[in-house]
Structure 1
Amino acid sequence: MKILVIGGSGTIGKKIVEFFSKEHQVIVAGRSSKDYPVDIADTKSIKELYKKVKETGKVDAIICAAGEAKWAPFKDLSETDFHIGLRSKLMGQVNVVRYGHKCLKKKGSITLTTGILADDPVYQTTSAAMVNGGIHSFVQAVAIEMRKKIRVNVVSSGVVVDAHHKYESYFPGHPPIPMEKMIMGYRKSVSGRVNGEVIRIYS
Structure 2
Amino acid sequence: MKIMVVGASGKAGKATRELLSRRGHTIVTVGRNSGDIRCDISQPEQLSQLWSRVGRVDAVVSAAGDVPYAPLEKLGPDDYRSAFDQKVHGQIDLVRTGLPYVAERGSFTLITGVTARDPILQGAAAAMANGAVESFVRAAAVEIAPQRINAVSPSVFTESLPDYGDYFPGFAPVDLAEVARAYQKSVEGARTGEVIIPA
Shift of 1:174: 1.1
1:161 aligned residue (148, 158, 164): 158
TM-score normalised by structure 1 residue count = 0.94
CA offsets 1:139-178 (integer angstroms, 9 cap, x no match): 000110115x110000000111121211111111112212
Letter matched to residue 173 of structure 2: P
Q: Hey, what's the Cα distance between the residues in 2 that align with 1:115 and 1:64?
A: 13
RMSD: 1.1
Structure 1 gaps of 5+ residues are none
Contact 1:141 1:196 in 2 (8 A): yes
Letter matched to residue 89 of structure 1: K
Matches within 5 A, 1:79-94: 79-94=77-92
Q: Which residue of 2 aligns with 1:195?
A: 192
Q: Hey, what's the Cα distance between the residues in 2 that align with 1:35 and 1:143?
A: 29
Structure 2 gaps of 5+ residues are none
Q: Which residue of 2 aligns with 1:53?
A: 54
Q: How many residues align?
A: 198
TM-score normalised by structure 2 residue count = 0.96
| SS across alignment from 1:157 | coil
Q: Hey, what's the Cα distance between the residues in 1 that align with 2:19 and 2:36?
A: 21
Shift of 1:101: 1.5
Contact 2:16 2:181 in 1 (8 A): no
Q: Hey, what's the Cα distance between the residues in 2 that align with 1:118 and 1:179?
A: 19
Q: Which residue of 2 aligns with 1:38?
A: 39
> Which ranges of 4 or more aligned residues in structure 1 deviate by more than 6 Å?
none
Shift of 1:34: 5.7
1:119 aligned residue (117, 120, 123): 117
CA offsets 1:73-96 (integer angstroms, 9 cap, x no match): 110111111100111101001101
CA offsets 1:12-68 (integer angstroms, 9 cap, x no match): 1110111011111100000112630110111111221111101xxx11100010011
Q: Which residue of 2 aligns with 1:135?
A: 133
Structure 1 vs Structure 2: percent identity of aligned residues?
A: 39
Larger deviation, residues 179-188 vs 20-29: 179-188
Q: Which residue of 2 aligns with 1:178?
A: 175
